[in-house]
Amino acid sequence: MVAPDLHPHPQTGSRSIGPSHRARQAAVRRARVLNVATIGWNTVEGVVAIVAGVAAGSVSLVGFGIDSAIEVSAAVILAWRLHQERNGGCMQAADARATKAIAASFAALAIYVAHESLGDLIGGTKPEASTVGVVLAAVSLALMPALARAKARLAPVLGSAAAKADAAQTNLCAVLSAVVLVGVGANWAAGWWWADPIAGLGIAVIAGAEAVRTWRADSLDDTCCA
């Protein structure tokens, strides 16, 4: 349990109830470690997914790879946000900019994958089966939920909507892993080519909804308690 900070606020002089300075700094360190892990895994995941997706003609795999690239960008944005902690003072302006940038990345993914998926469905483009894609999606589905939970636990301590959005992006990666696994797996096991672009449309819908939710997200109450 995080110990409350009952010391006078440096700007207002009033007592505030929130995470202590020591707990906050520990949370920042843990967030940085998780951020490095996110960047490392998603860089590998993104490259493998895009290469496998292009080779198989799978829009859902390519979309999954792009999502991994966006998650890397979100992690880089969050790294910049965490760096602002060194400057002290109110984090609301930096946090708001970081959160909006993450929301924009969700929207870009939704638009691209929706366009490509509809094109494949209408044109009857049949992707090849991808064993690499099935294995990659399964591994991601096993890893991402735990990473998302770890990030989500740190967001309230940091008082960061950007950290909360980054955790949501990691959770989205887990959901997309399941969607891709169903779509690519159905094509791999049963030859249902249409399952792949339908999975792509699922990715687009989920990413679009997350873009709206993240864009509208309010700053957390203690964002100024740096």
- CA 92, CA 161: separation in Å to the nearest integer? 9
Portion of the chain with pLDDT greater than 70, in percent = 83
Instruction: Give tens-digit pLDDT for 76-116.
Output: 877 877 776 666 555 667 667 777 887 888 898 899 999 99
Determine the CATH number of domain 21-216.
Answer: 1.20.1510.10
- CA 160, CA 98: separation in Å to the nearest integer? 10
Phi/psi at 19 (nearest 5 deg)?
-65, 145
| DSSP H helices in the chain | 21-56, 59-83, 92-123, 131-158, 161-190, 195-216
Domain boundaries in the chain? 21-216
Predicted pLDDT of residue 220: 46
Asked whether the CA dihedral 32, 33, 35, 36 is positive or negative, the reply is positive
For the chain, the first-to-last Cα distance in angstroms comes to 19
What's the token pair of residue 121?
């469905």
Place of tokens 């249902």: 192
Across the chain, what does the average pLDDT equal? Answer: 82
Predicted pLDDT of residue 14: 47
Place of tokens 């990473």: 147
Q: Has residue 133 got a pLDDT over 90?
A: yes
* Mean pLDDT, range 147-158, rounded to an integer: 88
Gyration radius (Cα) of the chain, Å: 19
- CA 224, CA 193: separation in Å to the nearest integer? 51
Predicted pLDDT of residue 39: 92
150-to-17, 23, 193 alpha-carbon distances in Å: 23, 15, 36
Predicted pLDDT of residue 1: 41
Q: Has residue 147 got a pLDDT over 60?
A: yes
- CA 71, CA 86: separation in Å to the nearest integer? 24
Instruction: Give tens-digit pLDDT for 191-202.
Output: 999 999 999 999
The pTM score is 0.77
- CA 46, CA 91: separation in Å to the nearest integer? 31
Q: Has residue 64 got a pLDDT over 50?
A: yes
* Confidence band of 146 (pLDDT split at 50, 70, 90): very high
